[in-house]
Amino acid sequence: MGKVVSKIYPVLDMHCAACAQAVEKGVRNLQGIEKADVNLALNVLYVDFDKDKITPETLKKEVQKLGYDLIIEEENSFEKQEKAQKRHYTQMKLRTVGAWLFSIPVFLLSMVFMDVEHANWIMLGLTLPVMLIFGRSFYMSGFKQMLRFRANMDTLVALSTSIAFLFSLFNTVYPEFWIRQNIEPHVYYEAVDIIIAFVLLGKLMEEKAKGSTTEALKKLMGLQARKARVVTADGLKIIPVSLLKKDMIISVRPGEKIPVDGVLTEGGSFVDESMITGEPIAVEKEPDSKVYAGTINQKGAFNFRATEVGADTLLAQIIRMVQEAQGSKAPVQRLVDKVSNIFVPTVIGVAVLTFVLWMAIGGTTYFSYALLSAVSVLVIACPCALGLATPTALMVGIGKGAENHILIKEALALEEMKRVDTVVFDKTGTLTKGRPSVVQMIRMGREADMAMPLLYRAEQMSEHPLAEAVTEYLESNSLLSYFREEAIEDFEAVSGKGIVFRCGQERYWSGNETLLSEQNITVDDVKDMIKQWQDEGKSIVIFGDTHKILALAAVSDPIKLTSVEAISRLKEMGVETCMLTGDNERTAQAIARQAGINKVRASALPSDKEDYVRALQKEGRVVAMVGDGINDSQALAAADVSIAMGKGTDVAMSVAMMTLITSDLMLLPKAFALSKATVKCIRQNLFWAFIYNLIGIPIAAGILFPVCGFLLNPMIAGAAMAFSSVSVVLNSLRLKRVIL
């Protein structure tokens, strides 16, 4: 098997849910495709494919065969899509205006000035431009679909208006056929024109409204700089950001956006990083400080070396995650997709049945009723409302989350979050600040002092947050004066315990009490000190060799003030909270008391955390896990909803369905509120979309005619169909005003 890559390609010329289904099905049938999903609201294809078996050009050709188009150029692809959509919107606006200009006279001739001489021929002349010019896309698309034995919304519009037009044309050219049977020959040109005009107006409003659902994504894209000032041997040179390479030196002046991620090499300034951190106070930058694409330089000027460019920058990853999340499908959408697959053929079948029943009941005298009712059924049925119900709500909800620094990776997280009744927290970096510092260190004599450089070099090789605290303490307290030239060998990070390594012939270790217990060393002389520190909620780092303990460090990682408030809010919402930590029982209980958490599991290894989550699930609980480290990844993967802290490790964020970018736990209650609002909106959309069709189609078929003589006019059916799609999108847009 070759290398599978994931890509997002904009799709052009899709009109309805059936179009999206056609593209999705066509691409999935190609060899080498692992996964393919189409989002109608965003007009994009999300595809995983084996690049050794299939190329983007092959994908493009297949989509073009289906009657649509694909933008496969990765550079500025979404800008190209936006330009194409703007052109399409302008053309649609002109066609809509033109359709109404021709339709209104036809409507007046049909309803008000019926006695005008040659009225039928005048209406025929005015209807032809509406069909052949302004509404031609319906017929072209419908015909293409028919050739492939498929049907979409355009098929319904083309079929209904063609039937009404051909019947009217026959009655205009050869009215004697009906007159001889004592039946007045009616024409329905006004129905043809008004249906096309209303559908065009509805699609125009839908496109306008759909554009608003992607505002959050557009804002993120708008943060990207377009050009950069590169330092070269010949001086400064301005080039497009797309041409930047790693290790280039870039100059940034006051007020400019930082184009890519990097590290300062010269100068200093204050940078507004609120788009990433949410903090309004600018961050001071000096040599060796990190800077991020999209953030804004405020006062000073500086040069920096590019470390991440293109799709690897933090901003680009956030944008991609939002795009992927907006295109991911919630479980409820799978059901809707199945319904959409059979919707149009079913409607055509209902229309045929309607015509047959009318004719069976009334014979030729009911021919007009039969025809109008069949046309009304075809017109009023709307697969678009069903197709847009879920994705538009998800897009707005995920965009709302991004604006509030809640990065949602999977739509499933939004749907499941409202069901969560238990939240499990990691301690370090999640409930606490994640920047622990050594507050006290006891060294056991001169031998310990001589071993400090070894401890420093070994802890530098560890990724554990406590390791950084130890190295910072050793640096700042000048404990590295002894020179040790021996190399660190056989280094091993023991998950949940600490590190072990060898230097020369001696084996050393550094870690927690669990690791200490494995060393067979007497600890009576430090036992009381360890207990005291643990009672104070401090973490303990113990350093020793195979014979004795060399040093003992107390590390304090203060709890975030927002953690206490967030847990209080969750309790008010009826959500139970638990804490898991690799720390010992005393330290864990001390932190839990401060946070207001009752259930605690201490000395937990990564596998223990996973087991704890699964045990809660077996009790029938819906569990969300919040963590920030590699040691949380197993529990995150097991949880119903996984949430990573934005300042955590890449592994945690890659596993998690949701990331709190600012690492502020007050975002957690907001995520619950967003989930509830989004799911409520999806249910409203689906309810009205289904109810609209369940009620509208029988009324269009004439079910009320025997009761009260009411027969739905195809013009009204066209207006109702247009309104149904627009109403679903507008209801989704209400999420933008939800207060989290």
Q: Which residues are catalytic?
A: 426
Per the DSSP assignment, residues forming a β-bridge with 645 are: 660
For residues 430 and 625, the answer to whether their CB atoms sit within 8 Å is no
> CB count, 10 Å around CB of 274?
16
Residue 4 in tokens: 């599978």
**565/80 Cα distance (integer angstroms):** 45
CA–CA separation, 516 and 522 (whole Å): 10
- How many residues are given for the chain? 740
Closest CA relative to residue 310, chosen from 261, 249, 382, 237: 261
CA distance linking residue 727 with residue 98, whole number of Å: 24
Distance in angstroms (rounded) separating the CA atoms of residues 499 and 456: 12
Which H or E element spans position 498? strand 498-503
| Residue indicated by tokens 């339709």 | 103
Structure tokens at 614: 């699964």
d(CA 508, CA 386): 65
Rounded to whole angstroms, the Cα distance separating 550 from 541 reads 11
List, as one string, the DSSP characters of 99-119: HHHHHHHHHHHHHT-TTSTTH
Alpha carbons 625 and 633: distance in angstroms, whole number: 10
Q: Transcribe 13-77 into DSSP letters.
A: S--SHHHHHHHHHHHHTSTTEEEEEEETTTTEEEEEEETTT--HHHHHHHHHHTT-EE----TTH
Do 511 and 495 contact (CB within 8 A), yes or no?
Answer: no
Q: b vs e for 682-703, b when ≥16 Cβ sit within 10 Å of the residue's Cβ? A: bebbbebbeebbeebbebbbbe
Phi, psi at residue 268, to the nearest 5°? Answer: -165, 165
How far is 438 from 362, CA to CA, in rounded Å? 92
Beta strands (DSSP E) in 294-434 are 296-297, 302-308, 406-408, 422-426
434's torsion region: left (phi>0), alpha (psi -120 to 50) or beta? left
Cα of first residue to Cα of last residue in the chain, in angstroms, is 46
The answer to whether 591 touches 432, Cβ cutoff 8 Å, is: yes
Instruction: Give the list of residues 6+ apart from residue 355 with CB closer than 8 angstroms, or none.
Output: 370, 371, 373, 374
CB 412 within 8 A of CB 330: yes
Cα separation, 555 vs 435, in Å, equals 10
157: its two tokens:
């519009």
In the DSSP assignment, the letter for residue 241 is G
